[in-house]
Amino acid sequence: MKIACILLNLSLLLLVSCGEDNKPSTINDDTSATDQKKAITAKAIEDFKFTDYVLSSNGEQVVVNWDKYQELAIQVSYLKKADLSFFNGDKALLKGFIDTLKLEIPDTLQTNPIISRTTIIETTLLRLNENLTLDNIDYSLKLQSVEEVLIAFSNLNYQINKKLEKDIYSQIESEY
């Protein structure tokens, strides 16, 4: 009888100790969730390594009436401060903004390189919007998307400056 009681106690102890242990898996789930929920900070954006071109004074004069470019420049400056509200909003509004941006390009800037840069900006803005609005996107991919938008905008500025500089040099005539 003693042996039966001991065996019963041992089997109960074994059953109790063999229960499901959810603690390690929830800890891993929590850490991966916090990695995905990290907020993009201004410090992380400042650490990007890229050449940030700004418009020349001639470029600023040309785009002064290009309202959507001016709005995009303001939003990119907010993006550098980690304000993502414009970029993680409604996709239809962002798409409408981009379409208007592309339609309102000034006549002096209607060249293939500048049009292609606006198309690249469209692609990077839509990708950033998708990465910011989806919950299962990794933090590093979100940061990469932010960097791509900043690079695309900088390259647009570079192309505008390059086009205007080329126009100035083409007006210079040789004295000989």
Give pLDDT tens digits for 70-98: 999 999 999 999 999 999 889 999 999 99
Q: Is residue 69 part of a domain?
A: yes
Range of the domain at 74: 41-171
In a domain, 165, yes or no: yes
The answer as to whether 84 is a domain residue is yes
Question: Would residue 6 count as lying in a domain?
Answer: no
pLDDT at 38: 77
Q: Please report whether residue 78 resides in a domain.
A: yes
* pLDDT of the residue at 62: 93
Whether 85 is covered by a domain: the verdict is: yes
Q: Is residue 10 part of a domain?
A: no
Q: Which CATH number is 130's domain given?
A: 1.20.120
Whether 63 is in a domain gets the answer yes
At 25-65, the pLDDT tens digits run: 555 544 444 444 578 888 998 889 988 899 999 999 999 99
Number of domains comprising the chain: 1
Q: What's the whole-model pTM score?
A: 0.76
Give the chain as a 3 state SS string.
CHHHHHHHHHHHHHHHHCCCCCHHHHHHHHHHHHHHCCCCCHHHHHCCCCCCCCCCHHHHHHCCCCHHHHHHHHHHHHHHCCCCCCCCCCHHHHHHHHHHHHHCCCHHHCCHHHHHHHHHHHHHHHHHHHHHHCCCCCHHHHHHHHHHHHHHHHHHHHHHHHHHHHHHHHHCCCCC
pLDDT, tens only, 98-155: 999 999 999 999 999 999 999 999 999 999 999 999 889 999 999 999 999 999 999 9
